[in-house]
Homo-oligomer: A and B are copies of this chain.
Amino acid sequence: MMRRTKQAKSETHARIVAAAARRFRAKGIGGVGIAELMSEAGLTHGGFYAHFGNKDALVAEACAGGMAQSRDGLIRHVRKAPAEQRLARFIALYLSAAHRDHPETGCAMPTLGSEVARAAPEVRAAFTEAFVDYCGELATLFPGVPVAGALDEAAPDAAADEAMVLLAGLAGSMLLARAVDDPALSERILHASKAFYRAAFAGSGTTRSPGDEQPR
């Protein structure tokens, strides 16, 4: 298995990024070495530098990839529901036990956020872009009018502001639900947050949708 075709190379590249996006979310950026990633992709470590200038370049791609993957999964799933229920479903899915228990396929914000804050400029740039995209996607789930007195006045782009606040709140709740070692407390964080954000953002269309569902 020496030289590969052009197409095979880009497939390999994608395979490395996918492995990295999964492993980084599961064990942290600093907790995963290049040899481990390459081996998961079925290669040896030396070949890494045919695809990436250094580890940071991969981290940047993997961050963006991880954000986009979990975002698309959630948004796509939620779009199956009637418009007025979508936001409530998104919240329930994000704060589900299934999401908490599978960080490796879940949102990258609670898993990688604090490491990204200390990471190389290119990593932060990639993360920022993915976050902005996520806010844009999420904003489309909001009803046209500003909700529940959440913002100062009718500022421009109020839906994007609300999406940011919601996303940050969900990420924080997931961060803590995972950090805490008491399962009952973890459940309590998830439930209380779910009730709160539904009431604050998903208005009325909330009462009947079920608690937890499987994301992706």
* A contacts, CB < 8 Å to B: 27-28, 30-31, 103, 109-118, 121, 124-125, 127-128, 131-132, 149-152, 161-162, 164-165, 167-173, 175-176, 178-182, 185, 188-189, 192-193, 195-196, 199-200
Contacts and interface: CB of A to CB of B under 8 A. Distances in A.
A92 to B, nearest CB: 14
A5 B58 CA distance: 51
Contacts of A128: 179-182, 185
B118 A27 contact: yes
Contacts of A31: 30, 118
B127 A195 contact: no
Nearest to A193: B165
7 contacts: A103-B117, A111-B117, A114-B175, A150-B200, A168-B172, A169-B169, A172-B173
Nearest to A122: B181
A149 B199 contact: yes
B165 A171 contact: no
Give 9 nearest A-B pairs by CB, closest first: A172-B172, A124-B181, A117-B178, A169-B169, A168-B172, A168-B173, A161-B192, A30-B30, A171-B172
